[in-house]
Amino acid sequence: MATIYALNNTYTDIKYAGTTDLDKGDDLEIGGSLCFALVDYDASEDDSVTVVVACSKVQAPKIAATAFTAGDVVYWDATNDEITDASTGNTEVGVCVEDAALADTVIYITWQGYNFA
């Protein structure tokens, strides 16, 4: 799974109480929203965990050999667990907030996981 991090405390969260363990930063879909875990979650020990559905600044893995410019719309590629510029077959999740060079392995974006159907 991907490792997605909230970089500030400006986020919208929901509680997840499922049967699947999560590591901090893991992505998951809950009721039509694309979320990521704020902390580790052990389904056998914890009642629930906070997952982020929207955040003003997030660090996420990005597709290799692709550059992004601040303001670019970005998409989540669930197959490869990374941000991409390709809309086909992927989910729009936000906007790039800092330029990302070809060689960069992470990207800084807004995260709006509730925008997709």
Q: Indicate the pairing of strand 11-16 with strand 49-61.
A: antiparallel
| CA distances to 36, 47, 71, 88, 97 from 3, in Å | 8, 22, 22, 22, 18
Mean pLDDT estimate for the chain: 92
> What is this structure's pTM?
0.89
CB 53 within 8 A of CB 29: no
For 14-62, write each residue's pLDDT tens digit: 999 989 999 999 999 888 889 999 999 999 998 899 899 999 999 999 9
pLDDT at 117 over 60: no
* DSSP annotation of 1: -
- pLDDT tens digits, 73-99: 999 999 999 999 999 999 999 999 999
